[in-house]
Amino acid sequence: KQEVTQIPAALSVPEGENLVLNCSFTDSAIYNLQWFRQDPGKGLTSLLLIQSSQREQTSGRLNASLDKSSGRSTLYIAASQPGDSATYLCVSRGYQKVTFGIGTKLQVIP
Amino acid sequence: NAGVTQTPKFQVLKTGQSMTLQCAQDMNHNSMYWYRQDPGMGLRLIYYSASEGTTDKGEVPNGYNVSRLNKREFSLRLESAAPSQTSVYFCASTLTGANSPLHFGNGTRLTVT
């Protein structure tokens, strides 16, 4: 059974700092890994998707990496802003199977 | 672009009442999912539908039924609501295959008193 763990559960950083969110998974037989952000009381917004054959994906200030052999993915946020404050979810997808992490709650302090 | 649309956004039920949560997507996706999200537990799969005409149980199916009405629509029904079903419900959809991302609706916040 796939398990997805996100560390830390919560993170508070000053504005402008670069930061890394971590995601680990137990079953490396995944199709892809997707990062979402969720604002309080809102739905999930997709940030990046990394296919199993890829090592990383970039979108603006965000960079996600994938290392299947070690069962790890990271989400790097450069020059953090208060608007980045949200919960970030890591989701692994295998055949007919989608597994969610509980998320990392990020607070960027102005 | 509508994406995944869920209705209603909010609902309050009394114990024993029934209701149906609606979900529709306009992206021609074949796979659709219903999740519930509870504090500290992440998202848990209730039911999913890999294609029109098929449905399968997920992790927490008890107390729920689903209908894949057509390719666009996937509804979730609570026949006799219980306080334990107070939660936020999300519908998601995707294409079967490695390269397709999951798309989520904005959720339905359900309270059962």
Interface contact flag, B104 A36, Cβ < 8 Å: yes
Position A41 scores a pLDDT of 85
State what percent of residues in chain A have pLDDT above 90.
82
**Which two three-digit tokens encode residue B101?**
């991302």
The answer to whether the Cβ–Cβ distance between B106 and A36 falls below 8 Å is no
Query: In this complex, do B107 and A43 lie within 8 Å of one another by their Cβ atoms?
Result: yes
pLDDT for residue B98:
61
Which DSSP state fits B73?
B
* Interface contact A43, partner B, CB < 8 A: yes
Question: Which of the two residues, B41 and A65, has the higher pLDDT score?
Answer: A65
**Mutation choice for B interface testing from A2, A98, A105 by most B CBs within 10 A:** A98
pLDDT given at position A70? 93
Res B2: pLDDT:
75
pLDDT of A27 strictly over 80: yes
Chain A, nearest residue to B34 by Cα: A98
Q: For A75-103, what is each residue's pLDDT tens digit?
A: 999 999 999 999 999 999 887 678 899 99
- pLDDT surpassing 80 at residue A54: yes
Is A50:A32 a contact under the CB 8 Å cutoff? yes
Report which of residues B7 and A41 the model is more confident about: B7
Mean pLDDT of A7-21: 96
pLDDT at residue B58, rounded to an integer: 92
What b/e string do you get for B69-102 counting C-beta neighbours within 10 Å, with b at 16 or more? eebbbbbbebeebeeebbbbbbbbbbeeeeebbb
CA distances from A29 to A17, A53, A86 (A): 34, 11, 29
